[in-house]
Structure 1
């Protein structure tokens, strides 16, 4: 049996080329993966749809990259867990219709990956419209628990039971107080390590680790280990670090340790409203924009995030909790697909609705319901967008595979 080739750790100078190659290969894995990694192309294609007119929603914070992988269980300071938007890199004050379409496209490509018939995709778009509107219905007292698809219920139960040890094994493949270098974690240069150590000497940054722990003191927070984190798809190529903190100087495990994710904030591809009032409300700094968007869309996550400067770049810093998980929507039955579409659209709708007053909510729902056809209980603007975007993404995905994966597969 041939020996497994040992992975050679790259130097910091070699990172960019390797990360770019890895990102291209990840996007070639499936059409659904391509959707997750092609946010900028999504908005290019959306803008280029002939005769395309979208409803103009109120100026609120939107996710901007609202695919299924950016939703999942999130915990708050009291240990409660809910499915919420979990990645806000693209957040801007913009048109909420963009989030609905982005979610619809993600669900449609997941349905195609599950070999579901086209009629299921049509029913899923109906479910998206209905689930989203349901979030704005304050008179409804239907239990959210009853609307969760089985896959979401299972994940929620798992999230509630998860421990720090499970988080460590999943994220850093170890429960020892160190970050093992390998394919997922690469070495830092001396300057990076010094800057990270210096960063967590700032009380406002160190309090990320102490905010969720009673009797913890920012002055006792120390960096045990740090590494460059090869993580995500669209974020590959940006600065990304994993940092292991000791909270009380004991370096034991569990509550004494804290895993921090540092990610570079870059310019959003999602279009923003250009109104002067919007410009005043949206920070110019990219990391500050992301944190502010999180506070409006996902308050439980926003309270665990900070913005800072590292290596003269804008970065977002957040603590990872055991309950924070990525929602995977891969192989679905027809019934599961429709339930998932309705439920996830309702999650997004709630994030939008909490930012609107009663008059705005009524006007927005009325606008959403316009142009529904007799044959499909979904707005024509949503259905037309999904049909044309699925076609564009299929062509883009195949061309991406030809350019980046064909040589590697031969």
Structure 2
């Protein structure tokens, strides 16, 4: 075909298209300047009512566990207050450049896990609140989480402010890198956990992370969980009760629960590719139990399913109830009617490698769930043991992973164009993070007061 055909783009025109994307990003500053992101006014609000509203319809007897976890510190409160922050971000000025975002992008929602090829990568690992929304909302929540964590660990105000800048600097640097790649190059990118370790500059931390990597890689899938989480009762392998965090329902309720799980499992399999369906044919459901997970998620219907193959190999699948994203009131309704499908598709788009058993389903009452493997070689961050140098390295790694996840949506050049190469955006996000640290602390003590007044029950 002739290269003069106007419908055929040559390489020069493609390069110009990228320049156009950079220019489009810069043009967004007219309506939303980079400095404007630093403006946040700390306010009084009825925090207890905001939490109560978010938990309507959840399992009432589990809610005290939720509040106990949230009230451990301002840091844990922040983890459980994604809905509150969504309302704050929703009224702030935004770039209006919408992409698929995580929606609850804080530092504890990153970590290492195994790919289908059994490589251990570092990536975002929680997508309950994923939605199409302004890209900077993820970055603001992530940067603020590091400032709050730094204050929680007793680091100075200056260091706590600095660490938010490190998150943004890493995000911006890597976004510029991804902006120059082709779409396929970005899609093939991942962050190997080993490469993340090497990028640090603390020898002791490197050794500890290397040990964690080796430990996560050495066992066959689900071997460790099978040893810790099961027992033999009446000649049958079942999930070991550990109330109130893992437990079976009483008698007839448990039988009905297992029946519902089996029906939901059949619907779940229909959301998987044909090869995964064939793989699951090797396994049969042995048991199902309720499992309490997370901080903000406590009270939703979550559980674990134990499956065994004919040869006795275990497989643990975790199902988790999926609600409407906390961002929806500020972004508009999701294109997906099923919230489990919203979570799964958002995760598949943003993660460099997703769980092979990731799928969605509904139970007999119409509740939405998503399903995935439980703890597949998972490496979780241990914030309590980190010194400031470790926290800086982790902040840089999270900024890198977020940039990669956002770049997969195809808007890397526009985002890089908006951020630019000056310090304006970085400084603005650090000011926001400091202000939001104060807001979160105020909200935490307001919730404590609600407990003292009996508005929130811990028992």
TM-score by length of 2: 0.72
Q: Paired residue for 1:180, among 223, 226, 240?
A: 240
Q: 2:387 aligns with which of 318, 321, 333?
A: 333
8 A contact 2:94–2:134 mirrored in 1: no
Q: How many Å apart are 1:95 and its aligned residue?
A: 1.3
Instruction: Pick from 432, 439, 458 the counterpart of residue 385 of structure 1.
Output: 432
1:76 offset after TM fit, Å?
1.5
Alignment correspondent of 2:89:
46
Of 345, 350, 362, the match for 2:413: 362
Kindly indicate whether residue 246 of structure 2 is the aligned counterpart of residue 192 of structure 1: no
Q: 2:315 aligns with which of 252, 258, 261?
A: 258
The structure that has the greater radius of gyration is 2
Q: Are residues 206 and 130 of structure 1, via their aligned partners in 2, closer, same or farther at CA, if it must alter by over 3 Å? A: closer
Cα distance change on mapping 1:54 and 1:79 into 2, 3 Å: same
Residues 201-212 of structure 1 aligned to structure 2 (within 5 Å): 201=266, 204=269, 211=276
- Pick which of 380-389 and 139-148 moved more: 139-148
Deviations 1:39-82 (A, max 9, x none): 1111223345xxx434343x321100011111111211111110
Which runs of structure 2 are paired with 1:125-136 in the superposition (5 Å)? 125-136=164-175
Match for residue 223 of structure 1 among 265, 269, 285: 285
Offset, 1:225: 0.8
| Pair 1:405–1:113, CA change in 2 (3 A) | farther
Q: Unaligned 5+ residue runs, structure 2?
A: 1-57, 182-188
Query: Which runs of 5 or more structure 1 residues have no equivalent in the other structure?
Result: 1-14
2:347 pairs with 1:347:
no
Name the CA shift for 1:315/1:289 in 2 (closer, same or farther; >3 Å).
same
Does structure 1 retain, via aligned residues, the 8 Å contact 2:122–2:401? yes
Over the residues paired in the alignment, what is the CA RMSD in angstroms? 3.3
Per-residue Cα deviation, 1:169-221 (whole angstroms, up to 9, x for no partner): 56x37699321123222223232211112333458259699849xxx654342
In the aligned structure 2, how far is the partner of 1:29 from the partner of 1:77?
36
Partner of 1:25: 68
Contact 1:209 1:258 in 2 (8 A): no
- The number of residues matched between the two structures is 373
Q: Distance in 2 between matches of 1:295 and 1:88?
A: 10
Q: Which of 142, 147, 152 is 2:199 aligned to?
A: 147
Which among 206, 224, 230 is matched to residue 166 of structure 1?
A: 224
SS of 2:127's equivalent?
Answer: coil
Say which SS state the counterpart of residue 178 (structure 1) adopts: strand
Query: Are 1:268 and 2:322 an aligned pair?
Result: no
**What do residues 315-351 of structure 1 show as CA deviations (whole Å, max 9, x unaligned)?**
1011124312332323432212221111111011111
Corresponding residue for 1:246?
A: 308
2:147 matched residue in structure 1: 108
TM-score, scaled relative to structure 1: 0.81
Aligned to 2:423: 372
